[in-house]
Amino acid sequence: MIAVYAQASERQGLDAALNGHPVSASDAAFLEIREKAVAVNLTQAAQEFDGGEVKVGRGVIRVELLMAVDGEAPVSSVVVVVESADLLRNQTLVAPLVTQSIAAIGRVARAEALNAGLALGEQLMRGSRTKRRVITAVALVALAVTAVVIARSGAATHDLVNSTAPWTLR
């Protein structure tokens, strides 16, 4: 799933699009993916690139694209949220859908900035997956070692009891 949103300029609220089509900002599917993006924004560190920043986590990649300033008025950045599974599966399919979603909310993004953001997001997500796998592997090994140590100490105690108990009881 791909969500794109920005602060509306002519009214209060957000302009939003989902999978290339404009949606209401109160759409349930949009709210669900935005909630993940908000959590990622508040908890993860940003990686900057020329034209914006990327944050990853909670199974999504959040790319914030800075828009060109229109005169003196501040222009809202455009937030692109891509489910990481979609991006890792096929970035070449994701990029056109993101461009279509950005167009659906009436904005135009620089193709280079967008591609740079998505590529960085993919790289970060792959990195975090590898890190997670290494941590899981280390945890499993530690667990296995602990289990072996406990089992061996149990066996040693059992041997001790069996060897000394009859003698002490006598």
Residues that bind other proteins (CB under 8 A): 5-7, 12-14, 25-26, 34, 37-38, 41-42, 64, 66, 69, 74-77, 79
Nearer to other proteins, 36 or 126 (CB): 36
Q: How far is the CB of 89 from other proteins (least distance, A)?
A: 26
Nearer CB in complex with other proteins: 31/88 = 31
DSSP 39-66: HHHHHSPPEEETTEEEEEETTEEEEEEP
Kindly state the smallest distance separating residue 48's Cβ from other proteins, in Å: 14
- C-beta closer to other proteins: residue 69 or 169: 69
CB of 131 to other proteins, least distance (A): 23
Shortest separation between residue 10's beta carbon and other proteins, angstroms: 11
Closer of 13 and 106 to other proteins (Cβ): 13
Nearest to 82 by CA among 70, 92, 95, 71: 95
Two tokens, residue 56: 């990853």
Smallest distance from the beta carbon of 146 to other proteins, in angstroms? Answer: 21
